[in-house]
Structure 1
């Protein structure tokens, strides 16, 4: 008899359960916040498994998923490689990025001003750029057109992109001269700029940065794998 899999969860009784348990698992969907985690994992060269959580069918609201993240949002990372009793389970994309960076010693300076700059950008993303893009996306998908609300939301998107543009005018990456998890955080939402009707032509330094990041092999691979979750 075929075993039924709980949506969003690994069937630990499957033949390759041992292998699955030894890997990093990313419970995700094709969303701006989800994409950040596979990008980081690809950049870091870590083995991982994507577990689809179909938001369209409400799988993020099941008891099984909410046992991992009571906030019922993707992504969620499960790290089964940590010695001891129990797995590490993390939600919130920024927290996951920091965890992975510290786990590997990659994409986050260990100390000093440059580490502070990375966190500065992560906080700007959480308080500025991400909420602006999210609000604009929510307005864009409304059943009835709301032109005034859309204009206001896009104005805030442009404001935050303007801030990022000024930063990228001074140095090639969000937190300085080195690519970091700050760039991955920002890219997650900027990747969906066309979906909300935003344009990058007013922000030449953001456009240059976006073109470079979007063609990195790790980013290309992560996008392909994450987009496939929605098919």
Structure 2
């Protein structure tokens, strides 16, 4: 059996799930290498040759003999390659791009810092209430922006389900892990429900590894939180 065109290198993180969601939704054959952060596999020379930033995700397109890194670039590449989840109309395509960059420039960084200061810095002896409040409050503001955008809309851009939704969903849906209250944001929660109901998304969130503590308020996060804080302890200044 021939190898699929797409080889995905990823891990069970908010960024790591994005290309899995696309590939599962599009029904595109792919194979996958799970990058183990504990073994620093993302810093191995062979991987750095594909992604010089040493992060995930990365794809190799065997049919083109090239690698693509950065999750937004990967989803745009896949959407164009397979003609799915990206409208052809230039105005609508621009709208999709704007919301993708909203995720890359705002939602991911702000929620990522909210998670970092609560789940990595604080357990490693660097409790910083000002930083936590700063990033939780800004994350909440961004969720309000999305909630306003979704008033009267099912999807975030172009009046259809696109890669913009796939980009935003893993981060915004992880409000549980970021400890951001979104209980009163009805349009945002309805969008979560629509995407949660998609079987391909639910499959994707188990590949390569399910991390229910990101999304589920009832999940037991204690063991994961301890391992996560320990794994990144060297990143905290002064440790």
TM-score band, normalised by the shorter chain? 0.7 to 0.9
Asked whether the equivalents of residues 165 and 206 of structure 1 are also in contact (C-alpha less than 8 Å), the reply is yes
Is 2:93 aligned against 1:115? yes
Query: Which stretches of structure 1, 4 residues or more, deviate above 3 A after TM superposition?
Result: none
- SS of the residue aligned with 2:49? helix
The offset of 1:130, in angstroms, is: 1.3
CA deviation vs aligned residue, 1:92-128 (integer Å, no higher than 9, x gap): 0000100011011110011232111101101111111
What do residues 134-153 of structure 1 show as CA deviations (whole Å, max 9, x unaligned)?
11111122123322211111
Match of 1:98 in 2: 76
Unaligned runs of 5+ in 1: 1-17
Partner of 2:159: 177
What runs of 5+ residues in structure 2 fail to find an aligned partner?
212-223, 225-239
Question: What root-mean-square deviation, in Å, do the aligned CA atoms of Structure 1 and Structure 2 show?
Answer: 1.7
Measure how far apart 1:194 and its partner are.
1.0
Q: TM-score, normalised by structure 1?
A: 0.85
Q: How many residues align?
A: 208
- Provide, for residues 50-81 of structure 1, a one-character-per-residue CA deviation record: whole Å limited to 9, x for no partner: 20111122111111111111100000011112
Structure 1 residue 76 and structure 2 residue 58: aligned?
yes
User: Is the CA contact (8 Å cut-off) linking 2:76 and 2:163 kept in structure 1?
Assistant: yes
Note the 1:1-231 alignment, pairs <5 A: 19-20=2-3, 22-82=4-64, 87-140=65-118, 141-142=120-121, 143-144=124-125, 145-228=127-210
